[in-house]
Amino acid sequence: MAITQIEAALPGLVFHRPSPEAEPFKAPGDAVAVGDTLALVEVMKSFIPIEAEVAGTFKGYAAPDGESIEPGDVLCEIEVSE
Amino acid sequence: MSRTITTVKPGLQTCVQELPGREGFLEQGFPLSGPFDAWSFRQANILVGNDRDTAALECQFMGPTLTFDADMLIAVTGADMSPALDGAPIPMYATVAVSAGQTLTMGFAKTGARAYLAVSGGIATEPVLGSRAVFHQAGVGGHALIAGQTLPVGVSETSALYVLPESARPVIGTDRVWEVEALCGPNDDWLDEATIEMFFSTDWQIQTKSSRTGIRLTGPDFGFSDKALNKSPDHGQDPSNIIDHGYPMGAVNLAGQTPIILVNDAPSTGGFINPFTIASAAFWKLAQAKPNETLRFRRVDRDGAAALRAEIDAKTKPEILENA
């Protein structure tokens, strides 16, 4: 089992949930399918969904909710299923 | 053979832009739109033999993946989004001949924020209100690219390959600090003297909520002059309120205590003061600066701004090209 780090491609603010009151997109231990939304990045007054390009098990967010990120920063980790 | 480009992946709000933009409708609320970094935009066009103001693509933060349906010349300028043709990296600021069926991929911006892709013959979408420039937020002149969309391309006979000399290209630094030339006015007399000094000596941080409409800045509070504090109630309640007036392009618009630089897709009128105006020659820096980077304003007068503008103008003419 390999851990894949999902890196930010956009500069902006990262959000773990679709709206302030909602549950996070993923919690540690959740299954991840290709195309699942993992987080939102706010840039240019738009919220851009960050979608999983690998399937596996969600390990957790690395970038805190609501904080600013730069391209290359690790957003979250996924344990990739073989 | 159709002369088109097919969108495989759209990128982030990739839009057709054209100069001079949608002129003549400001009083009806239509902004000029057009390329945010006109310097890079024009250089991309001259590299493919187009008139420098021809419609081309503006890519923002994350570039598109496009397939060319005919042979044509392309050039990529501005932010470095690692452009690659069928997987092989291609140089920026150079003419590249592409064949029908080839695919251009662009990734996220490693330096800067906006890249320009020009094609020989230009993007030939239907003009709306006299321009092909897209005002994406309002859907005027079209919208940002979507997957599967095809773009018509104009006819071109050119086959010359050029390189743009390094000395004529805009320099996108890596220190995350931008010196931006600005003029006082039109409403600097609504601020107190200390605040005018403060504006030109502060490190302003670019907020994430910045776009082609406005660049929002974080910094110290503004202090106001008697003109703002003891005014006719017609002007509104807040010291930064003024009876509705026209907004110049590049105005530093003060909404309460938040300065917002009004750029290509900005509203043309409103009820806040504009104490400073960014020199048009510095717009490209606003286009290439990313959220959380720093702006420092350097005071120039009208002659200084005109000289800067002339300098960039000379660097966007075909005479500067070198044969590849």
Domains of chain A: 2-80 (2.40.50.100)
Asked whether the beta carbons of B154 and B2 are under 8 A apart, the reply is no
Tell me: cis bond preceding B89? Omega within 30 of 0 counts: no
d(CA B206, CA B194): 22
User: Among B24, B2, B54, B20, which residue's Cα sits nearest to residue B318?
Assistant: B54
Give the Cα separation of B94 and B321 in Å (integer): 9
Give B112's Cβ-side CA count (13 Å radius): 25
Taking the CB of residue B99, how many other CB atoms lie within 10 A of it?
11
CB–CB of A71 and B108 under 8 A? yes
- DSSP structural state of residue B44: H
B107 shares contact with chain A (CB less than 8 Å): yes
How far does the CA of residue A57 sit from the closest CA of chain B (Å)?
26
For range A39-59, the mean pLDDT: 94
Residue B239's Cβ-count burial label (10 Å; 0-12, 13-18, 19+) is buried
Distant-in-sequence, close-in-space partners of B219: CB < 8 Å, separation ≥ 6 = B202, B203, B204, B205, B259
Residue B65, number of CB atoms within 10 A of its CB: 17
Q: Mean pLDDT over all residues of chain B?
A: 97
d(CA B233, nearest CA chain A) in Å: 33
Question: In this predicted model, what pLDDT tens digit does every residue of B133-162 receive, in sequence order?
Answer: 999 999 999 999 999 999 999 999 999 999
According to the model, what pLDDT value does residue B213 have? 96
Q: What is the DSSP letter of A7?
A: E
Taking the Cβ of residue B309 and every Cβ of chain A, the question of whether any pair is shorter than 8 Å is answered with no
Cβ–Cβ contact B212 with A under 8 A: yes
| Residue B15 structure tokens | 């839009």
pLDDT of residue B34: 98
- CB of B210 within 8 Å of a chain A CB? The answer is yes
User: B200 is written with which tokens?
Assistant: 């030109």
- CA distance linking residue B236 with residue A50, whole number of Å: 42
H or E, element range at B221: none
How high is the pLDDT of residue B2?
77
Integer Cα distance of B170 and B178 in angstroms:
13
Q: What is the pLDDT at residue B1?
A: 55
In the stretch 282-301 of chain B, residues with CB closer than 8 A to chain A read 290-292
Report pTM: 0.95
ipTM: 0.85
Q: CA dihedral defined by A18, A23, A28, A29, rounded to 10 degrees? A: -100
Q: Do A12 and B107 touch (CB under 8 A)?
A: no
Instruction: Give the CATH fold of the B177-314 domain.
Output: Cyclophilin (2.40.100)
Partners of residue A6 in chain B, C-beta under 8 Å: none
Q: Domain residue spans in chain B?
A: 4-164, 177-314
